Amino acid sequence: MGTMDGEKSAIMNSIDRYAVFGHPIKHSKSPRIHRLFAEQTRQSLEYSAQEVPAEQFSAAAKQFFAEGGKGLNCTVPLKELAWNYADHKTERAQLSKAVNTLALQPDGSILGDNTDGIGLVTDLVVNHAIILAGTRILILGAGGASRGIIAPILDQSPQAMVIANRTVDKAVNLAAEFHGKGPITGCGFDDLKNRQFDLILNATSASLSGQLPPLPAGLLAENGNCYDLAYGNEPTAFVRWAKENHAAKSLDGLGMLVEQAAEAFFIWRGVRPKTRPVIELLNSERQL
Ligand code: NDP
């Protein structure tokens, strides 16, 4: 519940408004997730989805906050624009050069944060009991999602982290940016031959078009786990690959989606919702 002091009296009867901006946004699960969180924590708020192409982002965000909006989530293709839009940023957002959560501050400024990385780590470590410390981790892809997850995973002290990407330079450059934070290198898919990993994370957008990066046989270590950041109502191409390669766990990104939302909800409302019932509900609605 918002505080209702003097300054806010003009809007004291209006409900706190939040939204997700993106393009396309029609199939976003975020409004549903945030409404479930609000119900569960008895918070009174409104959360909508708004179709916002990149060229309209700045004007749309300005209008949203001018009209009393309290916070925004930003998704594809707006995370870099949201990073530029924020007046100030958390350290993790600063590092990831992408912002998925904007929050109105008491002084009227807009704080930018990135909750994707912590959302993934929480899903892996807490929900699925996957240990990251001392393991060999491979991240496929070197786009915005990879950038957001590298630092939170390195914080878990893996033995080695490799970023592999179709455009090799992007992987090498991205790894170089994080050299000071842990044992990380970048390479192309061809360089993965004769290597083995305990955890393979797919952060390419290939799954969205039913495709799979070229992965050599034997890439996944015995008892290794696989996680696709993408998710769908059917198993993704990478989740199917994981099962064919006998992964101990073959997971997709629905849990990460719910966890990053919970972190955003906490930033906005100061209340941490329980994620398990929401993940279970969304999982029960799809046939995996
Ligand atoms: P970007 O567009 O920034 O990056 C896409 C990456 O995928 C690039 O590395 C690109 O390689 C690679 N790629 C695309 N197509 C192929 C292909 N056919 N074969 C091999 N590599 C390919 O996307 P994002 O980083 O923003 O998103 C990546 C994925 O993560 C998406 O599926 C998105 O849905 C998911 N995601 C999930 C979240 C969640 O909460 N579950 C949160 C954030 C993202 P190249 O550089 O060579 O073009």
- pLDDT score at 55: 98
For ligand 1, the distance from its centroid to the CA atom of residue 141, given in whole angstroms, is: 6
Pocket of ligand 1 contains residue 73 by CB under 6 Å: no
**70, 79, 193, 249: which one is catalytic?**
79
User: What pLDDT is attached to residue 14?
Assistant: 83
- For ligand 1, atom 6, the nearest C-alpha belongs to 204
The b/e string for 66-101 (b: 16+ C-beta within 10 A; e otherwise) is eeebbbbbbbeebbbbbbebbeebbebbbbbbbbbb
Share of the chain above pLDDT 90, in %: 92
Question: How confident is the model over 123-166, as pLDDT tens digits?
Answer: 999 999 999 999 999 999 999 899 999 999 999 999 999 999 99
Quickly name the fold that domain 117-255 has: Rossmann fold (3.40.50)
Q: How far apart are CA 187 and CA 198, in angstroms?
A: 18
Task: Output the six-digit token pair for 222.
Answer: 């015995």
pLDDT tens digits, residue range 45-87?
A: 999 999 999 999 999 999 999 999 999 999 999 999 999 999 9
In which residue ranges of the chain is CATH 3.40.50.720 found? 117-255
Q: List the residue whose alpha carbon is closest to atom 38 of ligand 1.
A: 229
Nearest of 215, 82, 213 to residue 142 by alpha carbon? 213
- Residue 114: count other Cβ atoms within 10 Å of its Cβ: 33
Q: 97: phi > 0 → left, psi -120 to 50 → alpha, else beta; which? A: left
Residue 230 CA, ligand 1 centroid: distance in Å: 8
Question: Is residue 142 in contact with ligand 1, taking CB distance under 6 Å?
Answer: yes
Nearest CA to 90 out of 67, 68, 117, 65 is that of 117
Query: Residue with the nearest Cα to atom 41 of ligand 1?
Result: 253
Contact 161, 154 (CB under 8 A): yes
Q: How confident is the model at residue 288 (pLDDT cuts 50, 70, 90)?
A: low
Residues of the chain with CATH 3.40.50.10860: 3-114
**79 tagged catalytic:** yes
Ligand 1 midpoint to CA 154 (Å) = 20
Architecture of domain 3-114: 3-Layer(aba) Sandwich (3.40)
